[in-house]
Structure formats: C-alpha cells, structure tokens
Amino acid sequence: MSDITLDQIIKPENLVYTKTKLMTDKVLSYCPGCGHGTAHRITMEVIEELGLEEKTIGIAPVGCSVLAYEFMNIDMQQAAHGRAPAVATGIKRVWPEKIVFSYQGDGDLAAIGTNETIHACNRGEKIVIIFINNGIYGMTGGQMAPTTLPGMKSSTSPYGRDVNVMGNPLKVTELVAQLPGTYFVTRQAVHTPANVRKTKRAIKMAFENQRDGKPGVSFVEIVSNCNSGWKMTPRDANTWMEENMFPFYPLGDIKVDGKLVQK
Amino acid sequence: MSELKLMKGNEALAEAVIRAGADAYFGYPITPQSEVIEYLMAEKPHERTGMVVLQAESEIAAINMVYGAAGSGKKVMTSSSSPGISLKQEGISYIAGAELPCLYANVVRGGPGLGTIQPSQADYFQSTKGGGHGDYRQIVLAPASVQEMADFVKDGFELAFKYRIPVLILSDGVIGQMMEKVELFDPIPRLTDEEIKEKYPWATTGKKSGTERRIITSLDLDSHKMEQHNLKLQAKYNEITEKEVRYELLDCDDAEYLFVAYGSSARIAQKAVKLARAKGIKAGLFRLITLFPFPTVKMREMCGKGIKGFLAVEMSSGQMVEDVQLAVNGCSKVAHFGRFGGVVHTPEEVLEALEQKIIGG
C-alpha cells in the first residue's frame, strides 16, 4: 500500500468525484468550516448540470462573499453593498433570456439592501436570490447583523443583543414569501451531507424556475455558521446553529409554485 | 427622419433617449425632471424600439440597475434632480471604478438638502470634482437649449462608450422646463445582442465554455494593483482633457470683458452681452459646453490676448469661478456673480455685476 502514489489514486477508474469546472482553482478565502464554499460549489454544480453556463450572469455582494467572482467560473458582476437585486434587475430586464442570480449575505440583503430585496421580490423579477444567513457580519469582524439572535453576542452587541434597544432580528425570508412577486421561497442549510443534498435540490428548483420563465423570484436562504465570528470551533458552531439558529429560522420550504406551504 | 417639434427640455431629452437607440432607462420621479420618465412611459418605447423603461423603487436602485445593464454591454440611462443625484453618487463611483459606459442627467434644483424645486447650478462641484468617493472623473455636458438637451443624449452615449465612462448631462430647471423648437435627430437602431457581444467583449453576456469569464468589479484588495488601475483611469481622463473639450465663443473677437457661463446662465449672459454692447462695453461670452474637461487652455490663451476681466456667471454662490481662476491663474481679473437657492438672475443684474465687480472694481 505504501507504494501507491497520488497519481495512481486519481486515475480515471478510481475517480468517484470531480470538482465542477464552474469553480475556479483559486483557494477559497473562507474560514475552515464556513458554509460559503459548499454553497458556492452546489450553485455552480447546478448551473453546470442544467447546462446554463453560457447564459448565466452572477452578482457578488459586499461581505465575505465579495470575491465570489474569484471562485465562480462564469460571468459575474460585483455590486455595491445591498444593491445586488437592483443590479440583477438591470441585467435581467435587458437580457430577459439570460439566467441572473445574486448571492448575498444577511447584512447585505436584510439590512442595507432591504429596499432592493423587497422591491425586486415585489416586482416579481425573474431572478434567483441565494441568501446566506449566518447571523453576523463576518467580513468586518463579527458585528451584529439584522439576523443576529436575541441575546446573541457580537462585537457590537458584546453583552448580547438586547431587542429593546437594538431591535429584533428580521425574518426577511418569511417576509418576502408574503409578496406576490416571489414564486419559490425556501430555507435550507449546508452543514451535513443530507442538508447539502436538500439545498442543492432547492437551488436546482430555483434555477429551473427561472429557466422555465416562472413568474417571480426564487429565493433560497441558507442558514450557515460563522465559526470565527461566533468565536467557536466549526463543530461547536454547527451544534450551536442547530440548537439556536434553526428554532428561530426553521428549515423547509415556505412557498412553492407561488403558493405558501401550509404547515 | 429628423423632425421639428416644440418641446420641453425634459421631453426632448426623453425622446432623444429613444432615438439614440438606448436599450433601457431606469428612473425615479423628482421635480423638476419627472417629465423624462412620464414621457418615456407614455411613448411606449418598448413598442417603438424594444427599449425597456422601468420605474425603480429609489434613485439608488435606478443607478444600480444602470450599473448591471451597462456591465452587460447595453446602452442605458437614468436621470434625476439634485437630491436624487446625491443618492446616485455611490453607484456613479462604482460605474467609474468598473469603467462602464452610461449616461445620466441632472436637472438641477436649488439646495442644499431638499432645497427648492426652482432652477439652480449649485451642483457644479459635485458634477466636476467627484461627487462620489475615490479619484474619478466623468464627462459633463452642459446644454443651454432644448436642442442641446436632445443632441447631447446622442453625443453623451457616444462619449460614454468611446471611453467607458459615466457621462453626465448637467441641465437645470430652466432648460428642463422651458419649451423651444427642437430638430430631433434621425433614430439610431438599437444594437442587436450579437452586435453587443462582438463590440463589447468585456461585457457580461454569458461566458462561452472554455473561454475566460468576464468580471465587472471596482474592487482589488491589492493596493499596488489598485494604484495601477487608478493610473489607467487618470491616463484616460488626461486623454479626454486633451481631446474632448467643448466650448462656444460669442462676440469674443474684439471683447475686453468676458462672461463665463454654461446652461441657462449662458443664455442670460448672452442677453447681457447685448445690453453691454448697447452701452459701448466690449463684452463677450465664453460658454462652457463641457464642464469636465474644462477649457483651461483656451481660457488661458484668451487671457493672454488682452482680456481685462472675466465674470463667472452661475446660479450658485461661486463654484465654476474656481476653475476660471485656476485657468486664468492671476493674469487677469476674475469675479463671480450669481443668484442662487432657486433664484434666476436677470441680464440687467449680470451687466451691473460686470460694471461693478470687473470694470469699476
């Protein structure tokens, strides 16, 4: 066994998995244990599997995934903080046959960009929005986000989020589901293989909706961890996410085919 | 076919956007420029040329729609008035940084803050010195007639695509609201999708498999690379300063005194020249058409030809006058006159200012 080299292991007959060609070879800038890398990969896998590479334009936000265009090997535009749904609208309106998606974090989508998010969803833009919710501002170093849980500590809520002073976390996904312009709204996670598979199915449905010209936004929230921002190991962060984030942000479909899912 | 019509400045601008072969207009209502989007909505440009018109939820959203559509190679425009233009500055800075072509118009009203809805020229600094953050410039065209409101749309798009730069039509409430005859230029067909892909290989139109992807961004975390990017931008601005200066000289051949003005102030100063000449004062008008690039070289040359004084006439407390002073550089007397906060000066006031501040001052 000790004589087997790496080259022998990755012979075609031994290959059980390859990275999608729609991810570049650039080393990810994300912290070990972060969900962004998985969310990027499954998004790109879906685009490749649906054969949409040549007609897809992605929008990168401001936040940890500001450099998403370094990793996603398709045409991309980087948007000002929170403006990705407006940028996506601009592209989709002049290239209606293209596939346009934005990829945004919680600060970007649910604080500074709330206006653009709500109105793009309300107009029923035929775009996909992928929303990574980790309850914190990761890139700037762990400040309170619109989605930070009550009592949760961050660098700008060092004694925990006091909702009487700092306001309540915003369940933006439930909010956009109420708008007539959203067609598919779901909340998923990528911290276990089973969840990755479910999320990939959701992202696939979102892009299929757009490809098929379904009326309205397909909105996929992914509840994710931010182990460095939460000051936990990746494993502890995932456990903490299951115990604290999921009860507040329950996983599952909220709206399918333009209809709210009855609970 | 070119057509002669009686139109408001804002309507002429809107009609010109359709005729210039624009692919989209994204706007938001604000006085005194709301006629632009109203005209476009009423005209159904989608039926005429296939052009998209969308009322955005804010000026911020509108300029970011422009950013997206411009990044994908389309010919797009927005317009607003002063408070709304302030909101767009973030987007303009991104468009300048990402080197995208776009056209926008500011039908200026009095400020600061919500100010007033009457005409003003108090956005000169914002328009020519930056407005948004970072070291960038934009080409600024200043129409002085309804005719130029239409013509500068065509010229503006050409310049925007030639240099991949935001171009601003800096109008004001007078030019936007007044009616004049205008000869509308012949419609230019919109580019087809295939033509766009061929002409603008930098645009995000979807990556062909096996080719390099296109990235539209203003970001580079490597400061040395960002400095190189800035040097490239500066080289472009220098080229524009060298090649694209536009101005008009009226009654300047024998003039001893010059009014320097743009937009509606230039129209008023033109009348002041007549009043001055009737009194035996040899006055002329140096009308700025491009505010950036500023006609520094020509103004300095005029100064060397024995001009005794320049009066900067503008509806502001004195903004353009600083560029006149820099151009003249102490070789002749420079003064400023202007009413502001929404008040429009009269030709008589302008002449009186010349007599008091330059001739008698």
Interface A-B: count of C-beta contacts within 8 A: 131
| Confidence (pTM) | 0.96
- Number of Cβ atoms within 10 Å of the Cβ of B197: 15
Name the residue facing B68 among A73, A90, A118 (closest C-beta).
A90
A20 falls within a domain: no
The chain A residue lying nearest B71, using CA atoms, is A77
Tokens of A260: 């709210």
A6 falls within a domain: no
B54 chain-A contacts, CB cut-off 8 A:
89, 93
Name the residue facing A86 among B64, B98, B209 (closest C-beta).
B64
Burial class for B245, CB neighbours closer than 10 Å (0-12, 13-18, 19+): middle
Please give the backbone phi and psi of residue A154, each rounded to the nearest 5 degrees, phi first: -150, 175
pLDDT on residue A6: 79
A23 falls within a domain: no
What is the mean pLDDT of the segment spanning B124-147? 97
Q: In whole angstroms, how far apart are CA B298 and each of A145, B240, B241, B308? A: 54, 15, 12, 16
pLDDT band at B1 (very low <50, low <70, confident <90, very high): low
Query: What's the number of domains chain A is made of?
Result: 1
Strands A217-223 and A182-189: parallel
Amino acid (one-letter) located at A82: G
Is A54 close to B217, i.e. CB distance below 8 A?
no
Residue labelled with tokens 């449905």: A205
Q: In whole angstroms, how far apart are CA A115 and each of A178, B36, B303? A: 15, 24, 52
What is the mean pLDDT of the segment spanning B284-299? 98
The chain A residue lying nearest B194, using CA atoms, is A95
Domains in chain B with CATH codes: 3-193 (3.40.50.970), 247-359 (3.40.50.920)
pLDDT on residue A140: 95
ipTM at complex level: 0.96
Question: Are the C-beta atoms of B96 and B133 separated by less than 8 Å?
Answer: no
A15 falls within a domain: no
Is B216 close to A76, i.e. CB distance below 8 A?
yes
Q: Which residue range(s) make up the domain with A140?
A: 31-260
Residue labelled with tokens 């956007």: B17
Is A116 close to B61, i.e. CB distance below 8 A?
yes
- Return the C-alpha torsion angle A207, A208, A210, A213, nearest 10: 180
Distance from CA of A219 to the nearest CA of B (A): 19
A11 falls within a domain: no
**A31-70 residues touching B, CB cutoff 8 A:** 53-57, 59-60, 66-67, 69
What is the mean pLDDT of the segment spanning B167-185? 97
pLDDT band at B304 (very low <50, low <70, confident <90, very high): confident
Distance (Å, rounded) from C-alpha A201 to C-alpha A223? Answer: 16
Is B213 close to A89, i.e. CB distance below 8 A?
no
pLDDT on residue B42: 98
A71 falls within a domain: yes
Distance (Å, rounded) from C-alpha B249 to C-alpha A198? Answer: 70
Burial class for B231, CB neighbours closer than 10 Å (0-12, 13-18, 19+): exposed
Region of B248 please: left (phi>0), alpha (psi -120 to 50) or beta: beta
pLDDT on residue B344: 97
pLDDT on residue A2: 62
**Order of strands across the sheet that contains B333-337:** B247-250, B283-288, B257-261, B309-313, B333-337
Distance from CA of A75 to the nearest CA of B (A): 5
In angstroms, how far apart are the furthest CA atoms of chain B?
74
Distance (Å, rounded) from C-alpha A25 to C-alpha A28? Answer: 9
What is the mean pLDDT of the segment spanning B287-297? 98
Q: In whole angstroms, how far apart are CA A201 and each of A18, A198, A252, B209? A: 19, 5, 12, 24
Is A94 close to B52, i.e. CB distance below 8 A?
yes
Distance from CA of B90 to the nearest CA of A (A): 8
Average pLDDT, chain B: 97
CATH code, A88 = 3.40.50.970
Amino acid (one-letter) located at A263: K
Distance (Å, rounded) from C-alpha A44 to C-alpha A19? Answer: 10
Chain B interface, mutation test: which of A87, A102, A123, A210, most B Cβ atoms within 10 Å?
A: A87
pLDDT tens, residue by residue, B91-131: 999 999 999 999 999 999 999 999 999 999 999 999 999 89
A7 falls within a domain: no
Is B69 close to A91, i.e. CB distance below 8 A?
yes
For chain A, 263 residues long, the average pLDDT of each consecutive 10-residue run is: 75 86 95 96 98 98 96 98 98 98 98 98 98 96 97 97 98 98 98 98 98 98 96 96 98 98 87
- Whether residue B2 is predicted with pLDDT greater than 80 in this model: the reply is no
Beta bridge partners of A256: A259
pLDDT tens, residue by residue, B188-242: 999 999 999 999 999 999 999 889 999 999 999 999 999 999 999 999 999 999 9
Is B215 close to A78, i.e. CB distance below 8 A?
yes
Question: Are the C-beta atoms of A104 and A62 separated by less than 8 Å?
Answer: no
Name the residue facing B64 among A54, A76, A80 (closest C-beta).
A80
Beta bridge partners of A252: A187
What is the mean pLDDT of the segment spanning B312-328? 98
A239 falls within a domain: yes
